[in-house]
Structure 1
Amino acid sequence: MATDQLEFTNPVERFASISPPEQRQPEPGLEAKMDPVPDIGEHTYRGTGRLRGRKALITGGDSGIGAATAVAFAREGADVAIAYLPVEETDAANVARIIAESGQRVVQIPGDLMDPEYPSRVVEEAVRELGGLDILVNNAAKQVAIEGLADLSDDQLEETFTANILSMFRLTRAALPHLQPGSSIINTTSIQAYQPSPTLLDYAATKAAINNFSKGLAEELAPKGIRVNAVAPGPIWTAIQPSDGQPIEKLPDFGKDVGLGRAGQPTELAPAYVFLASSESSYVLGATIHVNGGQPTP
């Protein structure tokens, strides 16, 4: 059982070491149907006003890491727009409820990042409804496990790159005219960028590309006072895992091979995004924060 994040706790025991039963959902999966349901911070994240007055757009904000980040941003005083696939409406409505109950404005913008027109539309709608934009979190991703390269179809290869990295270029390009000095762009990469699994070759390659994109863009935008950074999660229990993101037979042991001996919960990622979005990280640019339970990285 989760404990209040402000208590002094043993990180091994702060959240339970889960052993999810074998389960499968059609991609992209719904958090509400997962067993167990991930913790996105509704009852475990307590804000301190570090993002008061800020306006954020988060892709993949309906569930998992994106949802936890949206909840944390709202608890820290930000208004939030969440982008998600239309089939994820159930999860998105739950996140919107939590944001509204936290006293912040929430905007729901369903659509598909596979559509090259959607990135511009989602940015324009977020700016219009929020009255501006100063935080962009590129978080949405596609992850489908395969047996090996011989089983990777051209369709999956193109879809993974379009969803994970091409859309990130498009979204960020659309957002740039609206970002003022002090704004922050945060991209979600992965431990897979450093320790690629043979079953996730396409996904891992896009996450390495995101690292490179983040560092190069950070150099370009630094003189303008816009900071770009990344967060690299390890094994986090989200809807991507039971919807073909992992082989079903591996779910019961998911995350147990890291130092802490357990999978992470989405809410454990949220403080990293809050830090990178806040003025407290004013001298942090082109960095990747690793939140992976103890997996060695460069």
Structure 2
Amino acid sequence: MQKDSKKKIRPEQSQAKPGLEKNLKPKPKSQPALAGDKLSGKVALITGGDSGIGRATALLFAEHGADIAIAYLNETADAKETKKVVEKLGRKCLLIEGDLGNETHCKKVISKTLKKFGSLDILINNAGTHWEADSIEDITTKQLMTTFNANFFSIFWLTKNAMPHLKKGSSIINTTSVTAYRGSDHLIDYAATKGAILSFTRSLSANLAEKGIRVNAVAPGPIWTPLIASTFSKESVAEFGSDVPMKRAGEPREVATCFLFLASEDSSYMTGQVLHPNGGEIVGS
């Protein structure tokens, strides 16, 4: 028998149409949730925070009062530059180098963040990688496992190890992709990981809703990041983003605002949802 989930959560009441807000019990909350810094006093862990979308998100979070831990693979020069700017904004920044496709390292990332800051409020699972392949026959098992370890299993391991330290009001935000919705004929294994992230986000959000921990995602389209220039041919890079309705690639800062919204109280009534900064491509949600 299905359990009836409905229960009274406010006093019974009735009004003549169109109704008066002043007579509602309790009164609706209409004032902005926060003024000024949206993440003041928060600690955010951002994977892939050395460059691209991750860097833009780290800088925006710092502007809004958060201390930042950045987990990255080996792009130390970029990571140090990000840290420099975060600290100029008056916030603390911890750099953690290593392979997130390794479960043991994921555990260390969480423990190092907690050792530095004493708490964790926001987990941004953003790091990812991809390789082009014309055919599934060109995708080796090694490449497949590397892609899933980096893009999906890292998210599972980091989230699992973060859970004992998250509390009501905490936020988990995962980076999926437009390819999770429409696929990609030349990034088959990458698109598959992004589909897994989408399902993981929806499932975990339902699991954690009653604990007051929100889980959402961002699904970028073509965004101008170092991964693009390091993956595609010179000709493809020159044309990158020109096929979307807005006829250009997006900038990392145009995606970072999605993460800020989902991390802050501005999105307090959203969980299990996905935002789509993709230049106007219409995809199923």
Q: Does 1:229 align with 2:185?
A: no
**Who is 2:258 aligned against?**
272
- 1:14-65 CA deviation, whole Å, 9 max, x = no partner? xxxxxxxxxxxxxxxxxxxxxxxxxxxxxxxxx9411111100000010011
Contact 2:102/2:149 (8 A) holds in 1: no
Contact 1:57/1:135 (8 A) holds in 2: yes
**Who is 1:198 aligned against?**
185
1:82 partner SS: strand
Residues 133-282 of structure 1 aligned to structure 2 (within 5 Å)? 133-244=120-231, 246-282=232-268
Contact 2:167/2:213 (8 A) holds in 1: yes
Q: How far 1:248 moved relative to its partner? A: 3.3
2:99 pairs, out of 112, 115, 118, with 112
1:291 partner SS: coil
Q: How far 1:243 moved relative to its partner? A: 1.2
Normalised by the length of structure 1, the TM-score is: 0.82
* Gap regions ≥5 residues in structure 1: 1-46
**Who is 1:57 aligned against?**
45
* Gap regions ≥5 residues in structure 2: 1-34
- 1:237-272 CA deviation, whole Å, 9 max, x = no partner? 10111112x333211110011111100010110110
Identity of aligned residues (%): 49
Q: Does 1:81 align with 2:88?
A: no
| Structure of greater relative contact order (alpha carbons < 8 Å, 6+ residues apart) | 1
- The separation in 2 between residues aligned to 1:175 and 1:248, in whole angstroms, is 40
Aligned length: 250
- The separation in 2 between residues aligned to 1:67 and 1:144, in whole angstroms, is 22
- The separation in 2 between residues aligned to 1:69 and 1:192, in whole angstroms, is 21
Query: Larger Rg: 1 or 2?
Result: 2
**Who is 2:281 aligned against?**
295
In the TM superposition, structure 1's runs of 4+ consecutive aligned residues that sit over 4 Å from their partners are: none
Which letter does structure 2 place at the counterpart of 1:251? Answer: V
- 1:208-239 CA deviation, whole Å, 9 max, x = no partner? 10000000000000100000000000000101
- The separation in 1 between residues aligned to 2:217 and 2:132, in whole angstroms, is 23
Which letter does structure 2 place at the counterpart of 1:243? Answer: S
- The separation in 1 between residues aligned to 2:36 and 2:105, in whole angstroms, is 34
Normalised by the length of structure 2, the TM-score is: 0.86
- The separation in 1 between residues aligned to 2:36 and 2:98, in whole angstroms, is 32
- The separation in 2 between residues aligned to 1:82 and 1:48, in whole angstroms, is 24
**Who is 1:68 aligned against?**
56
Q: How far 1:114 moved relative to its partner? A: 2.1
Greater alpha carbon shift after TM alignment, 228-237 vs 148-157: 148-157
Q: How far 1:284 moved relative to its partner? A: 0.2
Contact 2:101/2:149 (8 A) holds in 1: yes
